[in-house]
């Protein structure tokens, strides 16, 4: 039973070919393709409005120097948002439940923000490793602690995203299994678990959107520290 619960997180394959690439590229296929007109219909208007609102929200913590990252951060936000929401559909696969996928997104972008700070303002970036007014005997220990805290950021980003989505998927599968099993023996309890499943699904939709926003927001805050 435990293996069947975790089978949903294994990468699907067809004729021995991994389909994780298809699952990764699917969100981009859902967006309207551009043509020679700015607005082609209500869907394009809704898409432009959503992208505009997301970009404004992500640019709030950043000053003007960080606005050049708007395209990267907005594209990442849309990718994570669509990927997380599509993973809630039946018989689908969520690439962000794979820790390797989350770390592959978190580590390069975190490293880019760190290298940006070291290139533009090396003294200030290195000064974050030692808080002002630190007693002399505590300087080696604090430098070690702050360095560890800095290096663990991409791991925290990836694990947070993967763990929250994995926990939600497992809860949904556990409660849906209980609903199916109890339907023939205890219909009243089965109906109660069905209501819980419905409420949990709404909660997971919110979690999928919040986790995508938190992932990109933390990256923007790391960027602001280094610019």
Using the predicted structure, report yes or no on whether residue 177 has a pLDDT greater than 80: yes
State the Cα–Cα distance between residues 80 and 213, nearest whole angstrom.
Answer: 8
- Picking from 49-58, 131-140, 184-193, 215-224, which range would have the lowest pLDDT averaged per residue? 131-140
Residue 122's φ and ψ, nearest 5 degrees, are: -60, -40
Using the predicted structure, report yes or no on whether residue 174 has a pLDDT greater than 50: yes
Using the predicted structure, report yes or no on whether residue 6 has a pLDDT greater than 80: no
For 206, other C-beta atoms within 10 Å of its C-beta total 9
State the Cα–Cα distance between residues 24 and 20, nearest whole angstrom.
Answer: 6
State the Cα–Cα distance between residues 187 and 183, nearest whole angstrom.
Answer: 5
Q: Which residues contact 13 (CB under 8 A, 6 or more apart)?
A: 19
Using the predicted structure, report yes or no on whether residue 2 has a pLDDT greater than 80: no
State the Cα–Cα distance between residues 17 and 152, nearest whole angstrom.
Answer: 34
State the Cα–Cα distance between residues 173 and 150, nearest whole angstrom.
Answer: 36
What pLDDT does 108 receive?
93
Query: Tokens 């694990």 label which residue?
Result: 159
The tens digit of pLDDT for each residue in 41-52 reads 777 778 888 888
**In three state form, how does the secondary structure of the chain look?**
CHHHHHHHHCCCEECCEECHHHHHHHHHHHCCCCCCCCCCCHHHHHHHHHHHHHHHHHHCCCCHHHHHHHHHHHHHHHHHHHHHHHCCCCCCCCHHHCHHHHHHHHHHHHHHHHHHHHHHCHHHHHHCCCCCCCCHHHHHHHHHHHHHHHHCHHHHHHHHHHHHHHHHHHHHHHHHHHHHHHCCCCHHHHHHHHHHHHHHHHHHHHHHHHHHHHHHHHHHHHHHHCC
CB 78, CB 195: distance < 8 Å: no
Mean pLDDT for 157-171 is 89
Q: Is the pTM of this model over 0.85?
A: no
6 versus 50: the higher-pLDDT residue is: 50
User: What are the residue ranges spanned by the domains of the chain?
Assistant: 16-225
Using the predicted structure, report yes or no on whether residue 191 has a pLDDT greater than 50: yes
């Amino acid at each position: 039973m435990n293996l069947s619960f975790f089978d949903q997180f294994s990468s699907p394959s067809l004729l021995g070919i991994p389909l994780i690439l298809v699952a990764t590229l699917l969100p981009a296929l859902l967006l309207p393709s551009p043509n020679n007109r700015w607005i082609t219909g209500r869907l394009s208007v809704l898409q432009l409005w959503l992208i505009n609102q997301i970009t404004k929200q992500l640019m709030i913590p950043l000053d003007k120097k960080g606005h050049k990252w708007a395209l990267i951060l907005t594209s990442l936000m849309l990718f994570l948002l669509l990927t997380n929401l599509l993973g809630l559909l039946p018989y689908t696969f969520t690439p962000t439940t794979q820790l390797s996928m989350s770390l592959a997104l978190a580590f390069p972008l975190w490293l880019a923000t760190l290298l940006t700070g070291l290139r533009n303002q090396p003294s200030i970036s290195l000064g974050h490793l030692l808080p002002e007014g630190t007693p002399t005997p505590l300087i080696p220990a604090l430098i070690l602690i702050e360095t560890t805290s800095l290096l663990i950021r991409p791991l925290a980003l990836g694990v947070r995203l993967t763990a929250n989505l994995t926990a939600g998927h497992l809860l949904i599968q556990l409660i849906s299994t209980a609903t199916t099993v109890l339907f023939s023996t205890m219909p009243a309890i089965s109906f109660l678990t069905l209501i819980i499943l419905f409420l949990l699904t709404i909660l997971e939709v919110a979690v999928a959107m919040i986790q995508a926003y938190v992932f990109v927001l933390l990256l923007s805050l790391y960027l602001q520290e280094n610019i």
